[in-house]
Amino acid sequence: MVRRFTYREYNHLKILRKVKLTSAENHFTPRLYKDLEDKEFAISLFRKTLLNRTAINKEIDLKTQNWDSDRIANVDFVLLQMAICEVKNFPSIPAKVTINEYLEIAKEYSTPKSSIFINGILDKLVKEYTEAGTLNKIGRGLM
């Protein structure tokens, strides 16, 4: 029987095949930011997430009352904090885009079922914000 590679393994193989003796030492280390705007966004998201952590954690607690807090992966909790902060504090980013981005991150860096869990929490929160009129999004196609 022939073993098939996962998507992630295939991407790792592609990277390994490109390595040459003359490759730079940082060949396997991706750039942290693609540009200055990307860096500024990351810093702003980090600061706003920390500054609003107490309120964000209360919202997460309200949506995960049926979950034992020890069962929630640390990565999932941090991703929820960041996603909620982004939904509430970055009006130019559509809520759907935020949800999709954090689901992709969860698929890559957390447990197999994390994306389902995170999607459920974020979807409920966005619906609640929309119904309450507290979802502050501006521009075309941002709802």
Is residue 84 scored above 90 in pLDDT? yes
Q: The domain spanning residue 39 has which CATH number?
A: 1.10.940.10
Range of the domain at 52: 33-132
Residue 68 is assigned to a structural domain of this protein: yes
Residue 28 within any structural domain of the chain? no
Q: What is the pLDDT of residue 32?
A: 79
Please check whether residue 139 lies inside any domain of the structure: no
- The answer to whether 60 and 83 are in contact (CB under 8 A) is no
Instruction: Please give the tally of structural domains in the chain.
Output: 1
- Evaluate whether 63 touches 125 at the Cβ level (below 8 Å): yes
Q: What is the DSSP string of 39-93?
A: HHHHHHHHHHHHHTHHHHHHHHHHHTTTS-GGGS-HHHHHHHHHHHHHHHH-TTS
The band of 136, judged by pLDDT with boundaries at 50, 70 and 90, is confident
Average pLDDT over residues 40-52: 96
Range 85-99 average pLDDT:
95
pLDDT tens digits for 66-78? 888 778 899 999 9
Residue 73 Cα to chain centre, angstroms = 14
